[in-house]
Every structure is written in C-alpha cells, then in structure tokens.
Copies of this chain bind each other. A is one copy, B any other.
Amino acid sequence: MSIHHPRTWEGRAFLATSLDGYVARRNHDLAWLTDPPPSAGHVEPQPSDAVPSYDEHLAGVDHVLMGRGTYEVVRRFDEWPYPDHQVLVLSHTLNHGDDRITVVRSTSEAVRTLTDRDSQAVYVDGAGVVSDWLARGLIDDLVLTRAPVVLGDGIALFGPVRDDLRFVHLGTSWNEHGYLTTHYRVVHPEPRTRRRPKPTQTPTPTPTPSDG
C-alpha cells in the first residue's frame, strides 16, 4: 500500500519549541522548557476548549510512533509513559528485547502496520519523525506550544518541504508562564485522509498522480 493512498487513521503531533523553533538543545537538554527561570509580568492565562491538553491528546490516539532517538530517551524514564498505547519505534537498526514496542524499519512499514492494525489515530513524536511525516502529508493535526525563549541553536522541529504546508488555526491558549499553545489542522493539497470505511464497504485502492 502506497503512503499516498487514502489513510484510515490520523497522524497527530503534540510538541513544544522555543520561539526560534527548537524542540531541544543539541545535547537534548529540555530544562529551558520544563524548568524555566522565574519570570513575572506575563498576561493572565487564557484557556481554550479548542486546544486539547496532553492527556486529552493521549486519550485520543491508539498508537504512538517515535524515532530511535526519542525511544532512547523515553525508555530511560522511571515510568514507561505509554502503558495504554501500542508503540512503534522507527529504526533501521534497533535490535531490542523490549516487548512494549514494535520496531518498524521504514515509513511504509509504519503506515502499513497502522493500517493493518486498524489504527484510528497515531501520536507521532520526535522532531525528526514529525518533520518528515509533515513533509510526507502524514500528519493531520498539530498542537504546537511556543515557549517565550530564544535558544539560538538546537534540534529544529521543521525541516525542508517540497510544497508549502498550510494549516487551519483551530484555537490558541496560553498559560501564566507565557507559553502559547495553538491547535492546527493540516490542509492537505489533495484528499489523503478519509473517514474509516464502514464494515460493509470494501476499500478499493485509489490511483494517485504518481501511479497514473
């Protein structure tokens, strides 16, 4: 199955960057985000029903997909953060004895696995994978937080794209620390996502421009 065929699941990203677009420092440090120096004077917080919390986001997905780098960070956590989710790790080389995860060797294999497993929504995490999946049209939903800091260098969220990616602004909230969170829908230039077919329907492959 080509990744350009209509998908039956949604790709969703939920992450935070500095004002200059870094998800972490080069050494993977996140203290600038999680433990900022005290500051005062930020405008009063403003919540929004249109912006999901992290818990709401997590409750809305059945799978989590991450790259090898993110996995190496997450597996060292005191507590495995995804006990209720199926977790895919995208890696060409990882050999593991971790029965909490499934390793997929390529984006096509990840896509096929999600489809075969009847996934409805996958949380795509890690700057590299999110950036790549955005560029491939595999992300539909983005919840992006901006911390009020410029780092000057780090691991950038966004990378090259073939065509402009456009987004619909669904809502924005902010907290008392000056962190803004915006909920975007990705505008796909051609329909790549469709509703899950009803059980009585037989999905038929749809030709894409590159097939024709």
Residues of B within 8 A of A145 (CB): none
Residues of B within 8 A of A172 (CB): 43, 172, 174, 180
Known contacts A41-B185, A185-B41; is-contact A166 B148 (Cβ 8 Å): yes
Q: Which A160-177 residues sit within 8 Å CB-CB of chain B?
A: 160-162, 164-172, 174
How many monomers of this chain does the complex have?
A: 2
Cα of A187 to Cα of B38 in the assembled complex, Å: 11
**CB nearest neighbor in B for A45:** B169
Residues of B within 8 A of A158 (CB): 19-21, 150, 152
Contact B39 A43 (CB under 8 A): no
Contact A168 B185 (CB under 8 A): no
User: Which of B20, B39, B171 touches A187 (beta carbons < 8 Å)?
Assistant: B39
User: Which of B41, B151, B167 touches A149 (beta carbons < 8 Å)?
Assistant: B167
User: Which of B20, B135, B144 touches A152 (beta carbons < 8 Å)?
Assistant: B135
Known contacts A21-B20, A41-B185; is-contact A148 B169 (Cβ 8 Å): yes
Q: Which A127-153 residues sit within 8 Å CB-CB of chain B?
A: 134-135, 144, 148-153
Contact A42 B168 (CB under 8 A): yes
Cα of A185 to Cα of B148 in the assembled complex, Å: 10
In the complex, whether A178 has a CB less than 8 A from a CB of chain B is yes
In the complex, whether A9 has a CB less than 8 A from a CB of chain B is no
In the complex, whether A159 has a CB less than 8 A from a CB of chain B is yes
Residues of B within 8 A of A71 (CB): none
Contact A161 B169 (CB under 8 A): no
**CB nearest neighbor in B for A184:** B148
Contact B149 A164 (CB under 8 A): yes
Cα of A164 to Cα of B22 in the assembled complex, Å: 12
9 contacts between A and B (CB under 8 A): A32-B164, A36-B166, A43-B171, A148-B166, A150-B165, A151-B164, A152-B159, A169-B178, A169-B180
* Shortest beta-carbon contacts, A-B, top 6: A169-B178, A152-B161, A20-B158, A150-B165, A148-B167, A41-B168
